[in-house]
């Protein structure tokens, strides 16, 4: 079964082909440099760029794999959550293509796709605990199957990726700051600065990161002139000690907060022995190492995609779509794109393939 995956929920236009659960190829056009000029994603510009790149990327992917549209069995598309205008570009393209060639249309939950991505590289067994940490979301899920996710906790304000990006901006790091902060943190001493572990002294599995950003702002304001550094900071090479220490301490505060709640979720669901860690922030080397240690201590297993499959990509969408289609799942042309903040409807239909040819 050949499945095309389409991703356009934020600032990456991406397409990928998955055949029988195996990734054949993927293409991606990133808009990150353009949005960096504005310090964050500009939705209107993002939609226009998706519209500009979608067709040429599709042609490039199909021609370099010597495939034609009529060979597609499934067209899977990220249908939310994300930026509405951006999602609409992908969803409209997917509907037209599926209708034109008689392929099955599958709308994929972008967040679930992040968590399923690990299945492209290793055995993904259920049930499992899922920790999804990205630029827009921080969710803990109980995962009972590829389409059976129960939300256990979520952020009440900023996502973990936003916590990195917003604090990074205060420190003079370009948007998105996560990757550079990861490198700077590796050169610093996490004990040198004290940051809080926010919203852990309660009984919930929810998160709140906005206070941490405020703590970083207060620390930076308190620095005497001689300990400040020139901006912008473009690389970790030769970075000042105070900046590296600040990044190390900040990263450790985010990692501790995420893992305290993860440990709490595992305590409450003792049948879950696997932690699936995914989303852009799952590329963070400190989080990966410490999540692995946590699961080792608990006699469980960490499953996480390789860093290139953690950030937004279409391989995860194609793979999730393939898994859903393999169990008979599909949508019809009434499939809606769902913006961030609105719940995704449980509207996947089940039945035989709708391919008529």
- Contacts with Zn ion by CB under 5 A lie at 134, 312
Give the pairing type, strands 274-278 and 301-303.
Answer: parallel
Kindly state the tokens that stand for 192: 């040198």
Q: Is 135 in the site for ligand KG4 (CB under 6 A)?
A: yes
Is 7 a binder of ligand KG4 (CB under 6 A)? Answer: no
Nearer to ligand KG4, 40 or 263 (CB): 40
Q: Which is nearer to ligand KG4, 17 or 255 (CB)?
A: 255
Tell whether residue 5 is a contact of ligand KG4 (CB under 6 A). no
Query: φ and ψ at 174, to 5 degrees?
Result: -70, 155
E strands, 31-117, are 74-80, 104-109
Asked if 60 and 46 touch (Cβ cutoff 8 Å), the reply is no
Residue number with CB closer to Zn ion (171 or 317) = 317
Q: How far is CA 357 from the centre of its chain?
A: 35
Closest CB 158 distance from ligand KG4, rounded Å: 10
Residue 284 binding ligand KG4, by CB under 6 A: yes
From the list ligand KG4, Zn ion, none, pick the one residue 311 interacts with, judged by a Cβ distance below 5 to 8 Å according to partner type: ligand KG4
The helix (run of H) or strand (run of E) holding residue 16 is strand 12-19
Q: Which of 311, 321, 322, 323 binds ligand KG4 (CB under 6 A)?
A: 311
Residue placing its CB nearer to ligand KG4 in the complex, 136 or 188: 136
Residue 357 burial (C-beta neighbours within 10 Å; 0-12, 13-18, 19+): exposed
User: Considering only residues 4, 28, 152, 177, which one is a binding residue for ligand KG4 as defined by CB under 6 A?
Assistant: 177
Structure tokens at 164: 């990195």
Q: Is 164 in the site for ligand KG4 (CB under 6 A)?
A: yes
- What's the distance, Cα to Cα, between the start and end of the chain in Å? 14
Pick one of ligand KG4, Zn ion, none as the site partner of residue 248 (Cβ within 5 to 8 A by kind).
none
Compute the distance between CA of residue 17 and CA of residue 61 in angstroms, rounded to an integer.
Answer: 8
Strands 329-330 and 301-303: what pairing?
A: unpaired
Question: Between residues 18 and 281, which has the closer beta carbon with respect to ligand KG4?
Answer: 281
Q: Which two tokens stand for residue 322?
A: 């393939």
Q: Interface with ligand KG4 by CB under 6 A: which range of 122-130, 178-186, 266-274, 317-325?
A: 178-186
H or E element, residue 277: strand 274-278
CA-to-CA separations, 65 to 23, 71, 146, 190, 235, in angstroms, rounded: 12, 12, 28, 47, 37
Q: Given candidates 107, 119, 279, 305, which one binds ligand KG4 under the rule CB under 6 A? A: 279
Q: Which residues contact 18 (CB under 8 A, 6 or more apart)?
A: 2, 3, 5, 24, 120, 315, 318, 319, 321, 322
Tokens of 108: 């994929």
Minimum separation from the CB atom of position 355 to ligand KG4 (A): 31
Q: With beta carbons less than 8 A apart as the criterion, state whether 18 and 318 touch.
A: yes
Minimum Å distance from CB 280 to ligand KG4?
Answer: 2
Smallest separation (angstroms) from ligand KG4 to the CB of 324: 19
Binding to ligand KG4 by residue 212, rule CB under 6 A?
no
Q: Kindly tell me which residue out of 5, 119, 136, 188 binds ligand KG4, with binding defined by CB under 6 A.
A: 136
Q: Considering beta carbons, is residue 52 or 169 the nearer one to ligand KG4?
A: 169
Size of the site for ligand KG4 (CB under 6 A): 19
**Region near ligand KG4 per CB under 6 A, out of 92-100, 123-131, 172-180, 189-197:** 172-180
The CA-based dihedral angle spanning residues 137, 139, 143, 149, taken in that order and rounded to the nearest 10 degrees: -70
- Which residues form the interface with ligand KG4 (CB under 6 A)? 10, 134-136, 161, 164-165, 176-179, 182, 279-281, 283-284, 311-312
């Amino acid at each position: 079964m050949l499945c095309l995956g389409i991703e356009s929920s934020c600032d990456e236009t991406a397409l990928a082909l998955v055949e029988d659960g195996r990734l054949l190829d993927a293409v991606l056009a990133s808009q990150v440099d353009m949005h960096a000029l504005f310090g964050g994603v500009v939705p209107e510009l993002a939609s226009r760029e998706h519209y500009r790149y979608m067709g040429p990327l599709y042609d490039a992917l199909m021609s370099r794999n010597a495939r034609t549209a009529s060979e597609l069995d499934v067209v899977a598309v990220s249908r939310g959550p994300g930026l509405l205008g951006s999602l609409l570009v992908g969803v409209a393209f997917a509907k037209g293509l599926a209708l034109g060639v008689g392929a099955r249309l599958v709308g994929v939950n972008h967040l679930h796709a992040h968590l399923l991505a690990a299945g492209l590289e290793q055995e993904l067994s259920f049930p499992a605990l899922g920790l999804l940490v990205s630029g827009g979301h921080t969710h803990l899920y109980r995962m009972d199957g590829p389409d059976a996710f129960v939300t256990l906790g979520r952020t009440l304000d900023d996502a973990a990726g936003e916590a990195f990006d917003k604090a990074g901006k205060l420190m003079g790091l370009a948007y998105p700051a996560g990757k550079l902060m990861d490198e700077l943190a590796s050169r610093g001493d996490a004990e040198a600065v004290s940051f809080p572990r926010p919203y852990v002294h309660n009984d919930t599995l929810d998160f709140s990161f906005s206070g941490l950003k405020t703590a970083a702002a207060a620390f930076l304001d308190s620095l005497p002139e001689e300990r400040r550094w020139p901006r912008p900071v473009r690389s970790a090479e030769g970075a000042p000690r105070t900046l590296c220490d600040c990044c190390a301490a900040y990263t450790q505060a985010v990692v501790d907060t995420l893992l305290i709640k993860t440990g709490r979720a595992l305590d409450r669901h003792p049948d879950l022995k696997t932690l699936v860690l995914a989303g852009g922030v799952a590329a963070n080397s400190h989080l990966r190492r410490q999540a692995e240690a946590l699961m080792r201590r608990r006699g469980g297993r960490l499953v996480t995609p390789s860093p290139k499959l953690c950030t937004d990509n279409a391989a995860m969408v194609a793979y999730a779509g393939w898994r859903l289609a393999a169990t008979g799942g599909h949508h019809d042309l009434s499939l809606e794109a769902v913006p961030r903040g609105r719940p995704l409807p449980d509207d996947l239909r089940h039945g035989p393939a709708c391919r008529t040819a």
